[in-house]
Structure 1
Amino acid sequence: MTDLPQQESSEAQSASELLEEVLREFAELDSDAEPLRVELVTSEILGEWWEAGDDLAAELIEFAATAPEPERLVAPLAALRTLAISDEQRQAAGLALDKLGLGEPAWAAALNQVGVGECWRTADVYGDESSVLCVFGEGDAAHGLLVSIGYGVYGGWADEAVIVESPADVVADMRTQAAESDGLVTCQQITPGRAHQLLADAFAGTEQQNEPEVTDDYVRFRALSMARTRALPEPEPADPPKLLSTEDEAEAIDEFFRASASLEDTEAARVCALRLIEFGVEHDPRNPLRVGPDKLAAFVDFVDDGEIELTDEQDEALEKVLPAWARWGAWREGLPEAAVEPLLEAVEDRLYERAMETTESTMDVYLEGFDDLDEVEVVALLERRQFAIPSVYTEIAGEEVELDPSDPEQRRLLVIGEHPDFQASLAEDDLDEESFLWVAAHTTVVDQLWDDEPVEVWQAAQRLLARGLDRGEVLDRLAGALEQQLETGESDELEFDLDDYLRALDELS
């Protein structure tokens, strides 16, 4: 047996070893092997390459022209001629095989030559999820392609695809699911042309993603699933996108607020509604105003990932806009009452989950440097530090930013963010002495509160709060007590006598 040519780099050597392993796998397939077995082996190999991000199919096709033992390339080229993902690679594999001029295995001509049987589809009432089953072959050779499609984003995409041995059992399960769903799931037979259109669109939606979250079965059966889709009759025309003009969007927003009397009609809320429409136009173009648990959860995911930008005010409004949008959309779509409550519950659950994620993330920042605190200690620590820095968000130079208060420099920016009048002067290093002392005192007091050092600062703050002063007034009093003690030291840095400062704090009551 002749090995592939020696490569110089370790990466090339690794590819060479992988190709050699593939040639050995195909050598183990008899000429009279069952076509389905060959298809499964090929699909699994192509899936491994796809998951690893390696296009070894192209290398294998190119290697055929100079292979020392070209007969070893016949089987994999014959398989790639039918099962490679792209038209270009299938054609290239066929051309390379023709150039070898060698006899092909008996199974080669039978690959993907299957009869098409019934096609079935289940779909939830929202239009969020669907499963498509296509039956191929007859009798003992019958098998099915079952694909799960989500319509929350990308116009629909497949996250699972599997070849099933008993399609009749799957059809029975699909019917049972629909019958027991209280009208939330439908099951119907569809034409093979319709199935082709649904599957082709779904696979395209998956392939356009950089790192789609798919199952292991999708990886394994990806190539064979796409080949079986090509074996279906020509796809039926898809429904055209519903184009919405600016006027259409404005009318939909007006209608939404008219129907949502309990929702305050603010600019922030209207922006949220517009972003929901824009999201639908991009990711659900055939029904952009459709609502469903998965679609609305995907919208929230896009907001959290920064792909949809909202200001703090708009983000806060989203908590009330999203449930109202779901309710209005359910009414607009004529969803059955049995579907409305689960939809609203799903939306509320996603918003609660989001709030908890934000809270946990923020709490981690505020608890920085402390481990193994009991519940009472955690509450006390959060109370003090959140008094010092109420929010990790602020506006600097007109731009909203999220900062880490556990970092001293970022913590001081959060303090400065509360006082926009000083920002321009600070940026230009043009603060007068009085303003400089004011800023220095306030940032130092916040640092002391954050670190609880000296502890008398927080004790004084608590006394002032108990008297009914608000946070701003308390900070001003604390900073004033410190500012009175500030002096310029020998190194031109501000200093203060700790004992005098503590006495000044003690006098605050």
Structure 2
Amino acid sequence: MTENPFGIDRVKAGADFLEWNFTITMKTSPWSVEEGMTQLLAHQSAEGFSPRLEICAEDDAKIIHELGRRPTPTAVAALRGFQAMSTIDTQRELARINADRLVQQGQPEPPWVDTVGRVRVDDCWWAHDEYGETAVVVCAFSYDGTDEHAIFVMIDRALGGGMVREILLSMNPDSLLSIVRKADGSEDGLVSEPLDPALARRLLEDAISTSDELSEHKEYNLRPVPVPYRKMRALILARARALSDRPAPPETLPNSVEIELLKQSFLASPAAARLPAGEATGRALDLLIHQFLDAAACHPLQIGPRRVKAVLGLPDLLAELDADPDLARLFPDLAYAWVAWTATERDLSPAATDRLTEAARQACTPQRPAEDAGHNGPAG
């Protein structure tokens, strides 16, 4: 095992700390156990510094193995804590196996073993925009009416599975539920409604997965995740698992036949009437759809203002247009026409359509070649 510069085995020290912690929480409530474990699994210092998640996962696996070699009641309790709260499926199972073996050897179970993590789902709501780019998820839980609490997660779904933009925990569920219910009909065009727990689980797990991936790679240069993210991450994932046995199926992207039908429908529509017929238009359309499918990982119909601006500003796209002046000359008009057509196909409200097409206009204008600088926006 790796030793630190002071010669103390980090794994044994970690197991010692967990056993000490569970001498305090052994007879506490299951909710207190969950609160403590989600803090421990954050691996965050008092100053807010955290190792990379993969390093934390490796350390946790070693600590679970070390605890499994310790025939003590506190080791069993710590392993049951890992079993309930670890963010990794295989580690929850590893903790269960080690705890079961110690119990078979005569060690007692902690008094909360049958209840920890087994919360009741009391309510589940969300607010979302017409584009599918923003989701505000609020889910309320309790231990059969005691220790009531709710989680609030705002997700920016313009990027992959979504980035966590805000995250809150409240012991007053009604306060958070009222926020999302009052969002209905706001200036942001949000719609508020009850949320299927299986869909809530998928939204939360996808957002955590994407946020982990993007926040761990600073080269993406994205806005940081909220300050409480690491300390609430394990709790959010535990609550997501409590919502449903399995998440709702993922949104499917169109296959090659469906893409071809979309292209044909678009080219035959009034939105594409002013585009020139020919091979260049087909190449430009292929390039645009490729960006939405591969770079943004979204259905090319399910787009909103943030997604449009992000995709049309991608460095790889701009580099490809720079290398092909004919394509660059045609692309802004085609991209604008596609965006306008998607609004019609999805039957967006007039206000939502205006916001979407204005975003496309703004994103397309900088792409115009210098000789088209006097153009007053995309053809339409």
Deviation at 1:143, TM superposition (A): 1.1
Instruction: Output the CA distance in 2 between the equivalents of 1:321 and 1:333.
Output: 18
Q: Which residue of 2 aligns with 1:499?
A: none
Alignment of 1:247-286 (within 5 A): 247-248=260-261, 250-252=263-265, 254-255=267-268, 258-262=270-274, 270-282=282-294
Alignment of 1:404-443 (within 5 A): none
Q: Quick one: structure 1 residues 285 and 123, their matched pair in 2 at CA, closer, same or farther if it must change by over 3 Å?
A: same
Classify the secondary structure of the residue corresponding to 2:93: helix
Instruction: Output the CA distance in 1 between the equivalents of 2:278 and 2:40.
Output: 55
Deviation at 1:310, TM superposition (A): 1.6
Deviation at 1:216, TM superposition (A): 2.8
Q: Is the 8 A contact 1:280 1:288 kept in 2?
A: yes
Q: Which residue of 2 aligns with 1:89?
A: 91
Q: Which residue of 2 aligns with 1:226?
A: 237
Instruction: Output the CA distance in 1 between the equivalents of 2:345 and 2:182.
Output: 29
Q: Which residue of 1 aligns with 2:225?
A: 214
Q: Quick one: structure 1 residues 348 and 167, their matched pair in 2 at CA, closer, same or farther if it must change by over 3 Å?
A: farther
Q: Which residue of 2 aligns with 1:199?
A: 204
Q: Which residue of 1 aligns with 2:132?
A: 127
User: Deviations for 1:123-176, whole angstroms, at most 9, x for unmatched residues?
Assistant: 101111112222111655221122223332324454554433222122221122
1:289 aligns with 2:301: yes
Q: Which residue of 1 aligns with 2:353?
A: 340
1:43 aligns with 2:41: no
Instruction: Output the CA distance in 2 between the equivalents of 1:318 and 1:14.
Output: 60
Q: Which residue of 2 aligns with 1:388?
A: none
Q: Is the 8 A contact 1:249 1:277 kept in 2?
A: no
Unaligned runs of 5+ in 2: 45-49, 218-223, 368-380
Deviation at 1:307, TM superposition (A): 7.6
TM-score by structure 1 length? 0.58
Which structure is higher in RCO with an 8 Å CA cutoff and minimum separation 6? 2
Deviation at 1:230, TM superposition (A): 1.2
Instruction: Output the CA distance in 2 between the equivalents of 1:24 and 1:108.
Output: 16
1:180 aligns with 2:186: yes
Amino acid at match of 1:311: L
Q: Which residue of 2 aligns with 1:366?
A: none
Aligned residues: 345
Alignment of 1:497-508 (within 5 A): none
Q: Is the 8 A contact 1:115 1:136 kept in 2?
A: yes
Q: Is the 8 A contact 1:122 1:130 kept in 2?
A: yes
Q: Which residue of 1 aligns with 2:375?
A: none
Q: Which residue of 2 aligns with 1:80?
A: 82
Q: Quick one: structure 1 residues 17 and 350, their matched pair in 2 at CA, closer, same or farther if it must change by over 3 Å?
A: farther
Deviation at 1:28, TM superposition (A): 6.0
Q: Which residue of 1 aligns with 2:370?
A: none
Q: Is the 8 A contact 1:319 1:351 kept in 2?
A: yes
Q: Which residue of 2 aligns with 1:311?
A: 321
Unaligned runs of 5+ in 1: 356-509
Deviation at 1:106, TM superposition (A): 2.3
Alignment of 1:157-168 (within 5 A): 158-168=164-174
Deviation at 1:16, TM superposition (A): 4.0
Q: Which residue of 2 aligns with 1:31?
A: 26
1:190 aligns with 2:216: no
Instruction: Output the CA distance in 2 between the equivalents of 1:324 and 1:13.
Output: 64
Instruction: Output the CA distance in 1 between the equivalents of 2:31 and 2:146.
Output: 12
Q: Is the 8 A contact 1:242 1:285 kept in 2?
A: no
Amino acid at match of 2:239: R
Cα RMSD (Å): 3.6
Q: Which residue of 1 aligns with 2:374?
A: none
Classify the secondary structure of the residue corresponding to 1:29: helix
Alignment of 1:327-476 (within 5 A): 327-350=340-363
Deviation at 1:120, TM superposition (A): 0.7
Deviation at 1:93, TM superposition (A): 0.6
Amino acid at match of 2:67: A
What's the % identity of the aligned pairs? 24
Q: Which residue of 2 aligns with 1:118?
A: 123
Instruction: Output the CA distance in 1 between the equivalents of 2:179 and 2:343.
Output: 28
Bigger Rg over Cα: 1
Q: Which residue of 1 aligns with 2:110?
A: 105
Q: Quick one: structure 1 residues 317 and 73, their matched pair in 2 at CA, closer, same or farther if it must change by over 3 Å?
A: farther
Amino acid at match of 1:154: G
Q: Which residue of 2 aligns with 1:52?
A: 52
Instruction: Output the CA distance in 1 between the equivalents of 2:289 and 2:9.
Output: 48
Q: Quick one: structure 1 residues 320 and 17, their matched pair in 2 at CA, closer, same or farther if it must change by over 3 Å?
A: farther
Amino acid at match of 2:292: G
1:62 aligns with 2:65: yes
User: Deviations for 1:252-283, whole angstroms, at most 9, x for unmatched residues?
Assistant: 45246x51445566755543432332233347
Q: Is the 8 A contact 1:145 1:162 kept in 2?
A: yes
